[in-house]
Amino acid sequence: MERPAAIEVSRLQRRGGLLSAGFRTIPEEVPVAFTYNGSTYAVMMATPADLADFALGFSLAKGVAADPSEIESLDVVEVEGGIEARMWFTPAASARNQARRRRSLGPTGYGLCGVESIGEALKPSPCVGAAAVRISKTELAQAMEELQKQQVLNAQTRAVHAAGLWLRQGGLLVREDAGRHNALDKVIGAAASAALAASCGVVLLTSRVSVELVQKTARLGAPVIAAISAPTALAVRVAEAASITLVALLRCGDLEIFTQPERITEEASSHAA
């Protein structure tokens, strides 16, 4: 039986000087273990929804799997105290990853799971290249507005992040999670499962832009990342090096562009994305 993504709990509420009893819907959070060939690689605290997408996206974003085809099977299994996403590699992928096998623990919002050194954490991200995509400021604002409309779980709880992949010809793919990194991993996994090409797309985030979110966007191959909050300094440097356009503080039609501004236009371009 699938665990619910949110539950209803009792609470006391004080408003306008009055105290009242009632209920509130809040997001669930459980340990999710990623295992490869029977060995645990990472344990993440996550919202128990779209966990197959999460497992695949995490594997791709971390470079554990270079391609979805390297994972022969993926099963999401309830275990005592949490959930396991059990994956089995092809022989070639298994041999490549054997040296990297380790255990690590990743909290909801922080941590670079499976990374063993500072050098590995800061290794260059893939460069998306000089993608010819052009996105108007109006399109970005509309995409962010649509992302917020599609946050079903957040509408219930007001406590989860969302990430999305916007494609001009393909609409908007949205995933939610208590962890902002997890939400993007779920989008990466869902996009891979649907064979969506992100090379002309925009990654949308309802959070600040940290360096790992830029690194994940680079692995996805999206040339633009847009968020409602500000970026970190390292995120800006990594986005510039990866030729990613970083747009932040995208709210009510206003925005700030930190890198590669030529992709953002005043009006919609005739180039399809």
For the segment 148-201, what is each residue's pLDDT rounded down to a tens digit?
999 999 999 999 999 999 999 889 999 999 999 999 999 999 999 999 999 999
Q: Whole-number mean pLDDT of the chain?
A: 91
pLDDT band of 273, cuts 50, 70, 90: very low
For the segment 75-106, what is each residue's pLDDT rounded down to a tens digit?
999 999 999 999 999 999 998 887 665 444 55
Report whether pLDDT(121) > 70.
no
Distance (Å) of CA 39 to CA 43, 64, 81, 99: 11, 13, 18, 12
At the fourth CATH level, which superfamily is domain 135-265?
A: Cytidine Deaminase, domain 2 (3.40.140.10)
Q: Which fold has domain 30-121?
A: Ubiquitin-like (UB roll) (3.10.20)
C-alpha span between 203 and 223 (Å, rounded): 8
pLDDT band of 123, cuts 50, 70, 90: confident
User: Higher-confidence residue: 125 or 64?
Assistant: 64
Q: 52 is written with which tokens?
A: 């197959």
**Mode of pairing for the β-strands spanning 135-136 and 82-89:** unpaired
Residue-range domain boundaries for the chain? 30-121, 135-265
